Structure 1
Amino acid sequence: MKVITKKFLFLVLALVLSAAPIGTAANNKKVEVGGTLTKATKSYIVVNNNKYTITDKTIVSDMEHPEKGFPYSPELFSHPFNVVVIIEDGTVKKILVGVPK
């Protein structure tokens, strides 16, 4: 009976250790979310009814010139905007704003 228990514990340990990199990789990937930004505060934004965390490193730029940008400020978003939010490591890295023509 002890041999089965040791094999079972080894199998469970192997499964747990092999699953750990899967969870960490999911947190580190880059995600782009498009939609309408409806609320902007100092610590988060709301896009399509989903809340995303803002940091002091979040950059805002327009979709036509994404390489240029400036620091995030909630005062920039007084009404809904079409945006693409780039998320890395669980926080918003960049907000690309669709500027009306």
Structure 2
Amino acid sequence: MFIISLRYIASLDEVDRVRPAHFEWLDRQYEAGVFLLSGRRTPPVGGIILARAESREALEAIVAQDPYVKNSVAEVEIIEFEPNKFSEDARALAGR
């Protein structure tokens, strides 16, 4: 499982200009079963995505196609982790 942390490196006006394409990219990843949840950080300095992927390399290839990344309005950190404790509500997210 992975946490994708996006941090804006451009003005919010520039981020907003790319947002529709970013949302389309997000929708494709949800449809493919890669992304589990996502949202904008508070305050709006970036976003967080919870994802499942076959490998880190596979996820890196997906993230490289994010319009935010391609248009240099955000930088990304990918954190890989193995969930071993979770609530009953999160059990399905963890694939358990």
Normalised TM-score (structure 2):
0.27
Q: Which has the higher strand share?
A: 1
Larger Rg: 1
Q: Answer 1 or 2: higher relative contact order, Cα 8 Å, separation at least 6.
A: 2
Normalised TM-score (structure 1):
0.26
